[in-house]
Structure 1
Amino acid sequence: MKFAFSFILLLHGLIHLIGFVKAFQFASINQLTQSISKPIGILWLLTFILLVVGAISFILKKDWWFFVVIIAVVLSQIVIVMSWKDAKFGTMPNVIILLVSISAFGNYHFNVMIKKEVHAVMANSSNNPTIISKEDYNHLPEIVQKWLNTSGVVGKQKVVSVRLKQTGEMRTKPDASWMPFKATQYYNIEHPSFIWCTEVEAFSNIKMIGRDKFNHGKGSMLIKLASLIPVVDESDNEQINSGTMLRFLGEVCWFPSGASNDYITWETIDSTSAKATFKMNQKSVSGVFKFNLNGDIVSFEADRYYGGGKNTKLEKWVISVEDYKVFEGIKIPYKCRVTWKLKEGDFNWLNLEIVDMEYNIHEIY
């Protein structure tokens, strides 16, 4: 796709040289029967230059490439209209180039929004985290203490901020095809909040971008097709707020020292399971963490709203751990499977793998 689009830009640019050559009579151009004045010939040349610059900046992944290309397309269509009889077929590549450029602009605007939101979420994270000792969590249930010991948090800095990267696959229905995705997530652990942004390969050469946000106890979900068309845009209702709170609670397994923060309370269920309750802004959510005999987390279960709409119902939501890995000296579940336990059967909708993890980040974005 990248090379095909670059080729279209370059070829379309080179074709515009014909108008310049025709205007200045550098050669006989039989393909163009209409006369072209020298001032208009300069526009043909300028369009060529802009398309070539746009192609090069696109190949080099410059953020601003689409600005140049959109200007080039406007100039291109102007000169095409002025020589419509000979150049009308140039409209088709202009349409293709414009659609791709507008999608790129949508993606650029989305990334600007994400950057601002990440800075807002991470702005008040601490720069001087304390060192964890066993005394910090000896009031917790025995199995939770065992988990924290097994994770290796003792003697390390308490995690106050996180940046992680994920890859995996997701689907929207039990019989739907799997869609590969990659995502980046930022957490503020001291002031519970996160930003999760993803890029999903929804269809052939068509991607979806999405963002889940949890901040000040409120959630928000945004999904756009081709970076332009809103598919989901829900925020600040009971279902979304509760769901994002549960996400934060379940994902504490990726920053174990966060389990000792005051906003989470623990209750022993049995020797290998404990109930966790996350309270914030007079709201609370709860779920059950299950462990193996070594103290490793094997699953997290909670009743969560199935979807973000206001008419959705609570269903059993389960995060199952498939494997563990050590990041910066901390052992965490890095491969997980997420499943809805529905009446009609299990719906495994998400499989993910953490590929990079940074604790107590210094550079936010």
Structure 2
Amino acid sequence: MAPLLPARASRSRTFLRRAVIALAIGHGALHLIGVVKAIAPAAVPQLREPVGPPAAAAWSTAALLCVAGGVLLARRDPRWWAAAAAGALLSQGLVVVRWSDTWAATAPNAVLLLAAGCGWARDGRLGLRARFARRVEQVAPPADGRAVVDRDLAHLPLPVQRYLRRVGVVGAAHVHTMDARLRGQIRADAAKPWMPFTARQVNTFTAAPSRFFLLDATMAGVPVDVLHEYTGHAARMRGRLASVVPLFDARGRELTRSETVTLFNDMCVLAPATLVDAAVSWHTLDDRHVRATWSTGGEAITAELVFDADGDLVDFASDDRMRASADGRTFTRLPWSTPLSRFRGIRGLRLPTYGEARWRTPDGDLVYLEIEIVDVRYNVDHRAVVGAGGEITLKQPTVAH
């Protein structure tokens, strides 16, 4: 299936990444001029002062550090920024010592330091990605390899039973954790431009469920990080521009209730096998409409599930979700829905691969999210295992669909 979006999101991020790689490697290579000056002084008349062995060693070290930063970034190693920053700082020290000959190198050093700072904010321990990784690496499913059998569906309304059978949950494992890869575009309102994104989401479905959602968006060519956390029956949502500038930091009862709706939507759409075990109160409206009330953590949220003639879930609607303001400080209750389409097989289950999220505003419906489901895995043990060489891997799935 073709991507939902043109490659503008990836193109923008790829361009920035390649520009930094080129700067780091190219700038590092230029430092070899100092080494050449030490070996053959007449070959580099641009450097008027002689370069002795200690200075040549410093020039070569700066070159190696800058080049290492570029190579590590090319290899997508999250530690690239440390080498690049060290190389730029050492380089600038050499510039200060030989200012009259090398002052022009201040500009690339400043740019490289800025990029390294953004890299540290993005991939360093205080970044949202690092927090997401720490959360996820503790996720492990219970040691339960039971498969869903037909009688497990007997307590569910007939439209839900038909849906779960059509999805293919009978014969598959009971679902306790979920790891999804997503992509799409999002906007604040109809007057704002779309921001393309990729995302990764990890959920647990237990008595105390959790949801960790990391979104990597692009706004006017600048990266935006957004992290949703729902754990301990409390939610928090943070966004940062270029991984550094805070955009919003939302939390509180309104957000928690809204994220509870989102978590139930995940269960219905991305992990429908969880409906077999969930504490849901069902009310059949007709053969294509069911009202569900899900209770968890002191919250009881209600949604209406809409099915088509074939039994596919084609919409999910709730009045219990709230629209956050741009700064995440205020919330407005609005009807919310997620129309679904483009069903296909993913890891043995029939799932929708395209969806929208809509607010019903006084001015009409606002589609603020278009999303494509790329992949979903279930019951993955995310606990990190550190090998003898220091490499980090994940345990194998307890149960694979």
Q: Which residue of 2 aligns with 1:241?
A: 256
For residues 294-309 of structure 1, what are the structure 2 equivalents within 5 Å?
294-303=310-319, 304-307=321-324, 309=328
Is residue 2:80 matched to residue 1:62? no
Which digits, 9 at most, give the CA deviation of each residue in 1:106-146, with x for residues without a partner?
121233211111134x24x2122322123222122221122
Structure 1 length-normalised TM: 0.93
Q: Give the counterpart of 1:200 among 209, 217, 220.
A: 217
Q: Which stretch shifts more, 144-153 or 162-171?
A: 144-153
Q: Which residue of 1 aligns with 2:338?
A: 319
Q: Is the 8 A contact 2:137 2:382 kept in 1?
A: no
Q: Give the counterpart of 1:49 among 64, 83, 94.
A: 64
Which digits, 9 at most, give the CA deviation of each residue in 1:219-260, with x for residues without a partner?
11111111111212122x012101110001112121112112
Q: Which residue of 1 aligns with 2:164?
A: 148
Q: Which residue of 1 aligns with 2:397?
A: none
Q: Which residue of 1 aligns with 2:234?
A: 218
Question: Amino acid of the residue matched to residue 335 of structure 1?
Answer: Y
CA distance in 2, matches of 1:180, 1:188: 27
Q: Give the counterpart of 1:341 among 342, 345, 360.
A: 360
CA distance in 2, matches of 1:317, 1:73: 49
Q: Which residue of 1 aligns with 2:196?
A: 180
Q: Secondary structure at the match of 2:109?
A: helix
The Cα shift of 1:319 comes to 0.3
Q: Give the counterpart of 1:119 among 137, 145, 164.
A: 137
CA distance in 2, matches of 1:14, 1:359: 47
The Cα shift of 1:96 comes to 0.9
Which digits, 9 at most, give the CA deviation of each residue in 1:259-302, with x for residues without a partner?
12242221222221111112112221111111112221111111
Structure 2 length-normalised TM: 0.85
Alignment size in residue pairs: 361
Is residue 2:302 matched to residue 1:286? yes
Q: Is the 8 A contact 1:193 1:214 kept in 2?
A: yes
CA distance in 2, matches of 1:172, 1:313: 14
CA distance in 2, matches of 1:135, 1:28: 84
CA distance in 1, matches of 2:220, 2:367: 20
Q: Secondary structure at the match of 1:31?
A: coil
Question: Amino acid of the residue matched to residue 196 of structure 1?
Answer: F
For structure 1, the residue ranges without an aligned partner over 5 or more in a row are: none
Question: Amino acid of the residue matched to residue 330 of structure 2?
Answer: N
The Cα shift of 1:89 comes to 1.0
For structure 2, the residue ranges without an aligned partner over 5 or more in a row are: 1-14, 384-393, 395-401
Q: Which residue of 1 aligns with 2:389?
A: none
For residues 4-15 of structure 1, what are the structure 2 equivalents within 5 Å?
4-15=19-30
The Cα shift of 1:24 comes to 5.1
Q: Give the counterpart of 1:136 among 114, 135, 152.
A: 152
Q: Is the 8 A contact 1:129 1:160 kept in 2?
A: no
Q: Is the 8 A contact 1:239 1:310 kept in 2?
A: no
Aligned-pair RMSD on alpha carbons?
A: 1.9
Q: Which residue of 1 aligns with 2:7?
A: none
Q: Which residue of 1 aligns with 2:119?
A: 104
CA distance in 2, matches of 1:96, 1:45: 20
The Cα shift of 1:188 comes to 0.9
Question: Amino acid of the residue matched to residue 357 of structure 2?
Answer: V
For residues 5-44 of structure 1, what are the structure 2 equivalents within 5 Å?
5-23=20-38, 25-44=40-59
CA distance in 2, matches of 1:300, 1:232: 27
Q: Is the 8 A contact 1:198 1:210 kept in 2?
A: yes
